[in-house]
Amino acid sequence: MAHQLPDFETKDVLGKTVQLVGSCSTSPVLLPDPAIGKISDVLIRNPDTNGINDVLLYNLDGTSNFSRLKRGEFVGWTLKNNGSGTPITQITIKSLSGTINYEVVVNVEP
């Protein structure tokens, strides 16, 4: 058998990365378009261009439970399936009050 160098580093090039930037109000916004596919990783950021009291709310599993991000804070997470075993294709964001900006980056499986 011929000697072969071990492959210690592998690169995941399947799927795609989608960057979403915009603004939202107290009405929930679903991101991204569900036709894109199953989300594998997500990064949500409340940009520091927002006001000091602007709070971005986010939900990763389709329930009514929201977590908070203050100005300049971010969260990154690898998503699995939701509580009923269905792949997650969208996240929900909204503001605590008024209209604020958001920044979201998602990795989508092929």
Average pLDDT over residues 33-45: 95
Q: Sign of the CA dihedral 68, 44, 79, 61?
A: positive
Confidence category of residue 110, pLDDT binned at 50, 70, 90: confident
- The answer to whether 102 and 23 have CB atoms below 8 angstroms apart is yes
Query: What is the predicted pLDDT for the residue at 11?
Result: 61
* Nearest by Cα to 27 from 89, 100, 95: 95
Query: What is the predicted pLDDT for the residue at 42?
Result: 98
> Which residues 6+ apart lie within 8 Å of 66 measured at CB?
57, 58, 59, 92, 94
Average pLDDT over residues 78-102: 94
Copy the structure tokens of residue 79.
Answer: 């998503």
Confidence category of residue 2, pLDDT binned at 50, 70, 90: low
pLDDT tens digits, residue range 13-24?
Answer: 789 999 999 999
Is the pLDDT score of 12 beyond 80? Answer: no
Confidence category of residue 102, pLDDT binned at 50, 70, 90: very high
Cα separation, 19 vs 31, in Å, equals 10
Confidence (pTM): 0.86
Cα separation, 44 vs 90, in Å, equals 13
